[in-house]
Amino acid sequence: MALTGVTRPGHIQLRVLDIEAAVRFYRDVLGLTETGRDASGRVYLKAWDERDHHSVILRQTDRAGMDFFGFKVLNEVTLNQLESDLKAYGVATERLPAGELLETGERVRFQIPTGHQIELFATKKMVGNGLAPVNPKAWSPASDRGIAPVRLDHALLYGPDVGGVLKLFTEVLGFTLTEYVTLPDSDEKGALWLSCSNKAHDIAFVVHPEPAKLHHVSFLLDSWDKVLRAADIMSVNDIRVDIGPTRHGITRGGTIYAWDPSGNRFETFMGGTAPYPDWPAIHWTWEGLGEGGGLDVAHRKLHETFLTVVT
């Protein structure tokens, strides 16, 4: 499909407790490539098949979690238009100067009803994936280091007022609701999966009393075999696993959830549906999330840690 407006997830800035331990994990175990460090001590990394300079930024602080999640938009004209649309909708925006993030142009940042900081940007230096631009090989040495995800895929964020988020993302930013879960004995949507493409989701939200919480950041793998390989790598490196390997009913993706050294949950994800914008959203009940296999097809149950542990 033709992508206009918001095109894809572009980056996430994670708070970590020990920057060098985090770098060792994201570089050597997860298999990202370090692409730079800035004067404030932040470390930039990318997945091997991403073309942009970075998709993950690590910042050391005294508590884990997420500072912001950014989306790349089609061009500067789109960035300006979306900023104008946000202001007209009543959302306050902030312009961050080019260069505040390494190799990244101006960004428009705003707070959404769940309390998270979201930003849009149009330009970031393209460094490529290590393969030739003409007649490229099918494989890169970087694609075999660690778990070696293909790209940053999505994030799941927890906070209040997901109904307000749904309106903002669909009415202003052009996202499509692909799947949702209603709360027990209610028609209220308590969990949302939203796409700006025809991926199963580019971002997701679950209602939670505390604002601005990170549930997980997800990285895409090529196949179920790669997910099982990721499980072996996690075991060898004593990585704490939350759920998996298993499959979701929601999105139909294969998955493992685990925690980085700071306690931020990450996902290794493969597959998933490919919905189009005219497809009706799939409705899951709370019972369907658990006993119906929405979360875990293999075990058909809810996992307490999955529902309660956020950063």
* 198-256 pLDDT per residue, tens: 999 999 999 999 999 999 999 999 999 999 999 999 999 999 999 999 999 899 999 99
Does 1 have pLDDT greater than 60? Answer: no
Angle ∠(226,27,39) on CA atoms, nearest 5: 150
Considering the domain architecture, whether residues 174 and 292 belong to the same structural domain is answered as yes
Considering the domain architecture, whether residues 27 and 165 belong to the same structural domain is answered as no
Give CA–CA dist 94/269, Å, rounded: 33
Please give the single-letter amino acid code of residue 209: P
Considering the domain architecture, whether residues 112 and 24 belong to the same structural domain is answered as yes
Give CA–CA dist 279/20, Å, rounded: 45
Tell whether 130 is covered by a domain.
Answer: no
Considering the domain architecture, whether residues 67 and 175 belong to the same structural domain is answered as no
Residue written as tokens 């997980």? 216
Tell whether 254 is covered by a domain.
Answer: yes
Tell whether 72 is covered by a domain.
Answer: yes
What percentage of the chain reaches a pLDDT higher than 70? 99
Considering the domain architecture, whether residues 192 and 241 belong to the same structural domain is answered as yes
Rg (CA), the chain: 18
Tell whether 275 is covered by a domain.
Answer: yes
Pick the range with the lowest mean pLDDT from 81-85, 96-100, 134-138, 232-236: 134-138
Q: Which domain holds residue 109?
A: 6-124
Pick the range with the lowest mean pLDDT from 5-9, 70-74, 271-275: 271-275
CATH number of the domain bearing residue 192:
3.10.180.10
Give the model's pLDDT for residue 159: 98
**In degrees rounded to 5, what are phi and psi of residue 105?**
-75, -165
Give CA–CA dist 298/249, Å, rounded: 10
Give the model's pLDDT for residue 61: 97
Considering the domain architecture, whether residues 120 and 156 belong to the same structural domain is answered as no
**Residue 311, beta-bridge partner list:** none
Give CA–CA dist 64/15, Å, rounded: 5
Considering the domain architecture, whether residues 67 and 155 belong to the same structural domain is answered as no
Considering the domain architecture, whether residues 88 and 190 belong to the same structural domain is answered as no
Domain count, the chain: 2
pLDDT digits (tens, 9 = 90+) for 101-123: 999 999 999 999 999 999 999 99
Considering the domain architecture, whether residues 193 and 245 belong to the same structural domain is answered as yes
pLDDT category, 2, cuts 50, 70, 90? low
Does 13 have pLDDT greater than 70? Answer: yes
Tell whether 133 is covered by a domain.
Answer: no
Residue 40 contacts residue 28 (beta carbons within 8 Å): no
Give CA–CA dist 7/151, Å, rounded: 14
Give CA–CA dist 123/106, Å, rounded: 8
- What letter does residue 262 receive in the DSSP assignment? T
Indicate which residues carry an active-site annotation: 154, 201, 216, 248, 257, 267
pLDDT digits (tens, 9 = 90+) for 252-299: 999 999 999 999 999 999 999 999 989 999 999 989 888 888 888 888
Does 303 have pLDDT greater than 80? Answer: yes
Angle ∠(54,58,59) on CA atoms, nearest 5: 135
Strands (DSSP E) contained in the chain are 6-16, 33-37, 43-46, 56-60, 65-73, 93-96, 107-111, 117-121, 151-159, 176-182, 189-195, 203-207, 213-220, 241-247, 253-259, 265-271, 282-284
Q: Alpha carbon 201 to chain centroid distance?
A: 9
